[in-house]
Structure 1
Amino acid sequence: MAIVNEELLTIGAFAARARLSAKALRLYDRLGLLAPAQVDEASGYRYYRADQVDRARLVALLRQLDMPLARISEVLGAGGTEAADRLAAYWADVEARVAGQRTLAAYLRGRLSGRSSEMYEKFVIETVDVPAQVVITESRHTLADELPAWIGASLGRLESAARECGGVTGAPFVVYHSEVSMESDGPAESCVPVADEAAARAWAARQGRAWETTVRVEPAARLAYARITKAQVAHPQILAAFEAVEQWVAAEGLETAGPCREVYFADWEAAGAEDPVCDVAFPVR
C-alpha cells in the first residue's frame, strides 16, 4: 500500500513524487541529506512526509550542478540567505575552475598543433646577475591547487619574521626543487632575503619544525628570466613563460645551473591584472 496514512508515503511513492530513485533516497538518508520521517523497526521500511518533497527536489537540482554531496549538506544546513551565499560561492569556484581549464585547453592546443613558438614569442628573455644573499625560508610539499594560497601565506610569514632579521634586503622568491602539479608535490621553498644572518639563525632556531623553516646563503647566480604580469602568473600561462626561458637558454648555448624560481618584485595586492609582478627564472651558466 503506497499511502500509509494521511501524512506518510512509502519510499516508492515518495520517490515517484520527488522524481528520484529509491536508491538515491537511501544514499541521501545515509549521508544525512534527507532522513525518512519514520522507519519501521520490524521491516526497515522507510516512510516520508509529503512536505519533504521540496527538499528532495532541491537536493536533486543541486546535484545537477555537480555539487558534491558534502557541499549540498552545507547548503541545506545553512538555510535562507546563507544557503544562497554558499551556493554562490560554490558556483564561483566552478566558474574559476572552468576558466582555468579553458585556458589550459588553449595552451595544449597550441602545443599539440606545433604552434608553441608563437606562445613563447610574447616573452622577452633577459639575464641578470644576483649577488649572494642570506635568506630565511619555508618549505612545503604541495600540489598545484594549494600552491597560490601557500605562497601568499608563507611569504607573509617570512616577511613578518624578517623584521627580527635586520629587514628585507631583496625581492622574495619561490624555488621549485621538483615539479609542482596535480600529480607532483614539489617541494617548493619560499625565500625572503634578510640583512642579519646571525639574527636569522637565532630566529630559525626558535621556530623548530613547525613550518619547515631554515636559514641559508643563496649563492650568487646569473638568472635568465621572463617578466610576467599578474594575470600571467595563473596556470597555465606561467608554464609557457618557464618554457620560453628554457627554449632561450638552449638556443643561447647555456645550461641551467639550478632549480627554477619565481621572483615577486611588486606589491601583489596593489597590482592590477596587467601589471608586471613576477620574474620566472632559471640560474644559468
Structure 2
Amino acid sequence: MRSQPTALSIGEFGRLAGLSIKALRLYDVSGLLPPAEVDEPSGYRRYTADQLDRARRISMLRRLGVPLAAIGEMLALSDAEAVTRLDRWWAGEDAAMEARRSSYLWLRTRLAHGDDPERDYAVRMERRSGRKVATIRAQVDQQALVPAIGTAQWAIRAHLDEQGAVHGPEHWVVFHGLVTPDTEATIEVCVPCSGPVEPSGEITLRLEPGRLLAYAEVLRDDCFYPRITAAYEAVHQHVTTAGLVAAGPPREIYLNHWERLAGDDPFCRVAQPVEE
C-alpha cells in the first residue's frame, strides 16, 4: 500500500521553503501555491514536501521582483519555455533600468558639467567589413530615444539567444532622420551576429555592407542631447572639408559599456559612412 505524503503545517512548510506565513497565504489566495489540504473546522492549511520545489521557485522569482501574474505564467510552462519567458521579462527590466539610468546620467552630467566648454572632437577614419545584422526600427523623439534603444537591443539579443546565434557586445543605432525633443524620426537598432538565425516579427535581418566611416569618439558624460551634437558637427565638417560624400545616414556605435558612469574611455562613436 502506497503511503500518503507527510502533511506539513504552514509554519513548518514556510521554514523549509524560506517563506513567511503571510507570503504563503498570499500565494494561496492568488492561486500560485494552494495548500494540499485545508482543515474545514479550524482553517489550518497543510502542505506536502513535494510542493517545496514550486514554493522555492516562487520565492526566488519574487526576490527578483517578478509580478505574481508573470510568475503564474512561468509556473504553467515547461522549464525550457519558462527560461524564454524569464529572459524576456529580464530584458524588459534591463530596458526600464537603462531608461532610469539615462535620466540619472543626464541630470548628473548637467549638474557636474553644465558650465564646461564644449569638447573639441578629433575625427578619424576606419574601414569596416560587411556583417550580418539583426535590426528593429522605431519611430521616436528625443525623450523616447534611449528607452527605445534599450528595449530594441535586448529584444534582439533575446531572439538571437533563442536561435543559437553568436553576438558580441557591440551595437549601433542608425538615424534615418533628425531626432529632437520636438520631432520624431525613424531609428534602426542593429546588433551584428553570425550563425543560423531567422527573422521574427519586428526583428529583421540584413547584410551590413563594408563601409568606410568617419567617426568621433564620445565620452559617457557627453553622450546626451544637445551636447552630443558637437560630435556630429565635427564629423560633418571633416567629411565636407575632405571632399568626401556621405554614403548613408549617420549612426552611433556603442561598445555596450552601460555600467560606465564617467571616465576618459570612449563610450560611443558618432559615425558617418562615406563613399570610398
Distance change >3 Å, CA 155–CA 98, structure 1 → 2: closer
Contact 1:119–1:240 at 8 Å: present in 2 too?
Answer: yes
Q: What residue number does 1:234 align with?
A: 224
- Aligned AA (1:280): V
| TM superposition score normalised by structure 2 | 0.56
CA contact (8 A) 2:109 2:221 kept: no
The residue aligned with 2:54 is: none
Contact 1:176/1:261, CA 8 A, preserved across alignment: yes
The whole-number CA distance in structure 2 between the counterparts of 1:251 and 1:167 is: 39
> Out of 212, 226, 236, which is 1:222 matched to?
212
Indicate the residue corresponding to 1:195 in structure 2: 194
Match of 1:272 in 2: 261
Larger helix share, 1 or 2 = 1
Give the corresponding residue for 1:183. 182
Give the whole-Å Cα distance in 2 for the aligned partners of 1:249 and 1:98.
Answer: 29
Structure 2 match to 1:76: none
Contact 1:165 1:194 in 2 (8 A): no
Contact 1:169–1:195 under 8 Å retained in 2: no
Q: What residue number does 2:166 align with?
A: 167
Structure number with greater Rg is 1
Contact 1:138–1:190 (CA under 8 A) maintained in structure 2 = yes
Partner of 2:155: 157
Q: CA RMSD in A?
A: 2.8
AA of the residue aligned to 2:245: E
Query: Compared with structure 1, are the counterparts of its residues 215 and 167 closer, same or farther at alpha carbon in structure 2 (3 Å cutoff)?
Result: same
**Structure 2: gaps of 5 or more residues:** 1-99
CA contact (8 A) 1:123 1:227 kept: yes
* 1:132–1:219 CA contact under 8 A, matched in 2: yes
1:176·1:259 contact (CA, 8 Å) conserved in 2? yes
Q: What's the CA shift string for 1:220-256, capped at 9, x where partnerless? A: 1001000111111111111110111000111111111
Q: Give runs of aligned pairs for residues 64-75 of structure 1, distance below 5 A.
A: none
Number of aligned residue pairs: 170
Query: In the superposition, relative to structure 1, how do residues 127 and 165 fare at CA in structure 2: closer, same or farther (>3 Å)?
Result: farther
Note the C-alpha offset of 1:119.
4.3
- State the alpha-carbon separation in 2 of the partners of residues 139 and 266 from structure 1: 19
TM-score with structure 1 setting the length: 0.54
User: Residues 28-177 of structure 1 correspond to what in structure 2 (within 5 A)?
Assistant: 96=107, 99=110, 119=118, 122-163=120-161, 164-169=163-168, 171-177=170-176
Q: CA deviation at 1:276?
A: 1.5
Percentage identity across paired residues of the two chains? 30
